[in-house]
Structure 1
Amino acid sequence: MVPALFIGHGSPTLAIEQNEYTKFLKELGISIKPKAIVIFTAHWENDITSISARDNTYEMIYDFGGFSEELYSIKYAAKGSATLAANIQDKLAGRGIESKIDTKRGLDHGSWVILSLMYPKADIPVVQISINPNLAPEQQYKIGQAIKSFGKEDILVIGSGGTVHNLWTINWEEEKPEKWAVEFDDWIVDRIEEKDLKSLFSYKQLAPNSKRAVPREEHLMPLFIAMGSGGEEKAPKVLHRSYAYGTLSQICFEF
């Protein structure tokens, strides 16, 4: 049995950095050995939940600009699983959730940056799934609930995004986190540990600095999906917490 995870995927530069966070992600991959990976990425948005379905190797998507040329040469040769993709679509349909199959999309950096650190051999099948940031947190949670049985099948569900993700507030020279960013994450952590879903679903109204921390919801929504796909009997916990560039949250939860 494997847990469900929410992973703050930080900056694309994580893929070529060596620091405490990259060390943590490498160790996390060593500690969790799934037979397949299902990853909801904040960098694939679609009104209808889209599921990558292929058995061959993914193409790379370098969906960022202005970074080191080294990043654009990285290859993560993971293969997909059309069988698992069909299974996911069946489970979503069973909960009345519309979805569609995508046979062409490659892996975006919300997926390959963290997976290249956790599972560098790229020898585990990966199914990438889009998110719809316009759905309410409750609906995101229900998407996760539809596949919560995967943990018992040793299929790792990952929500890849970030809690505090405001690119307008990034300071590339800052090493210490901004107080307002920490306050928002403190609130999220407390509500998660208390399993206070009602408050979490209303984070916009209740969490401090919510508008500043979450100017758009695409990076936060994978958190609710991961939460829904975790085991209800388990106590959720923070696995790692750090910040890059003053405000970019690199927080990871296990559910």
Structure 2
Amino acid sequence: MISPIFIGHGSPLMAIDDNECARFLTEYGKTVKPKAIVLFTAHWESETTAISAIEGAYDTIYDFGGFPGELYEVRYPAPGSVPLAERVARMLGEKGIASRLDARRGLDHGSWVVLSRMFPDADIPVVQASVNPYLPPKEQYRIGEALRGLGREDILVIGSGATVHNFRTMNPSAKEPDAWAVAFDDWLVEHLGKRDLDALFRYEELAPNARVAVPRPEHFVPLYIAFGSGDPASEVKEIHRSYEMGALSYLSLAF
């Protein structure tokens, strides 16, 4: 049994730099041995859930610019899994959720940065999936619900994004996390722990500083998908929290 997780993936530099979250991911990856991984990434958006059905190894996508050359040399040639992709599509379909298979797209940095730290050998089959940031939280949660039970087969479901992700608020010289960002994460952890779905689905109106923390929800919605995919009888655990530049949250949770 492997619990689904949400990872605050932060900057692409985490693939080559040593920070608190990178060290956490390295150690966490030693504690789980998934047979396969299903990862919803904030960096792939589509109206209909797209599911990577890749034969052979993935290409590595560098969907960013202006970083050190070393970062563009990182490769993460994880194998795909067409049978698992087809199964994910069937599970969604059984709950009335439309999806489509994609046989071309490589792993974006929302996927390979996290996975390269957790499972550096790139030998675990990966199915990457997109998000639709315009669906309300209740529908994001429902996508996750459709995939419940994968963890019992040692298939790790990951939501990769960030709870607080606002470039305008980031301060490279900050030494401490911004209080408003911490308050938003505290609210999330509290209500996730209580499984207060009504409040969580209404986070925009109820959570402190929600509109500053989540100016656009593409990084936020993987949280609801991972949360929905977990066993509702399980304890929600904060497995890591750190911040960079004052307001970039690396809050990570297990469901």
Q: CA deviation at 1:172?
A: 1.7
In the alignment, which residue of structure 1 is the partner of 2:132?
132
2: CA distance, partners of 1:96 / 1:230: 19
2: CA distance, partners of 1:82 / 1:54: 6
2: CA distance, partners of 1:59 / 1:19: 26
1: CA distance, partners of 2:122 / 2:147: 23
State the secondary structure of the residue aligned to 1:34. coil
In the alignment, which residue of structure 1 is the partner of 2:235?
235
2: CA distance, partners of 1:182 / 1:212: 12
Read off the aligned partner of 2:12 and give its amino acid letter. P
Does residue 35 (structure 1) correspond to residue 35 (structure 2)? The answer is: yes
2: CA distance, partners of 1:72 / 1:249: 24
2: CA distance, partners of 1:174 / 1:186: 20
In the alignment, which residue of structure 1 is the partner of 2:117?
117
1:1-255 aligned within 5 A: 1-255=1-255
2: CA distance, partners of 1:236 / 1:228: 11
Of 208-217 and 65-74, deviating more is: 65-74
State the secondary structure of the residue aligned to 2:250. strand
2: CA distance, partners of 1:114 / 1:20: 13
Q: Give % identity.
A: 55
Q: CA deviation at 1:168?
A: 1.2
CA RMSD of aligned residues (A): 0.7
Deviations 1:191-213 (A, max 9, x none): 01111111000000000100100
Read off the aligned partner of 2:180 and give its amino acid letter. W
Deviations 1:87-113 (A, max 9, x none): 000000000000000000000000000
- Listed as ranges, the gaps of 5+ residues in structure 1 are none
Q: Could you tell me the TM-score, scaled by structure 1's length?
A: 0.99
Q: CA deviation at 1:55?
A: 2.1
Runs (4 or more) in structure 1 with deviation over 6 Å come to none
- How many residues align? The count is 255
